[in-house]
Chains A and B, each alone.
Chain A
Amino acid sequence: MTCIGEPISWLRLERHALAADPTVAEHVAACAACRHCLDEIRGDLVALPMLVVPERRLRWWRFAIPALAAAAIAIVVLRPRPEPQHHGELLAGVKGVGDVVVELVRERAGAIREDATTFSPGDRWKLVVTCASATGAWLDVAVTEAGARDADHPLAPTHVACGNAVPVPGAFELTGTKPNNICVRVRAEREEIGERACVTVTRETP
Chain B
Amino acid sequence: MEAVSDPQAAYRTYGPALVRKAERVLRSREDAVDVVHALFVDLIPRWNSDVDLPYLYRAVTNRCLNLLRDRGTRARLLEREQTVAAPVGRVQLDDQIVGVALIAALAERLDAAHMEVLVARFVDDMTQDEIAEHLAISRKTVGRRLEHIRATVIALQEVA
Which A residues are closer than 8 A to B by beta carbons? 1-3, 6-12, 14-15, 17-19, 33-34, 36-37, 40-41, 44, 46-49, 51, 53-54, 164-165
Q: Are B15 and A46 in contact (CB under 8 A)?
A: yes
Total A-B pairs, Cβ < 8 A: 83
Chain A residues, CB < 8 A from B151:
none
B27 interface residue, CB < 8 Å from A?
no
Chain B residues, CB < 8 A from A44:
16, 20
Q: Could you list some 11 contacts between A and B, CB below 8 A?
A: A1-B89, A9-B130, A14-B20, A14-B21, A33-B88, A34-B90, A40-B20, A51-B37, A51-B41, A53-B8, A164-B12
B128 CB → nearest A CB, Å: 10
Chain A residues, CB < 8 A from B91:
7
Report the contact-size class of chain B (Cβ under 8 Å from the partner).
20 to 34
B124 interface residue, CB < 8 Å from A?
yes
Chain A residues, CB < 8 A from B36:
48
Q: Are A48 and B15 in contact (CB under 8 A)?
A: yes
Closest to A8 in B: B125
Interface string of B11-37 (1 = CB under 8 A from A): 111011101110010000000010011
Contact of B19 among A3, A10, A46, A165 (CB under 8 A): A46
A174 CB → nearest B CB, Å: 26
A184 CB → nearest B CB, Å: 20
CA distance in complex: A14, B2 (Å): 12
A53-B7 contact given A7-B90, A9-B124, A48-B37, CB 8 Å threshold? yes
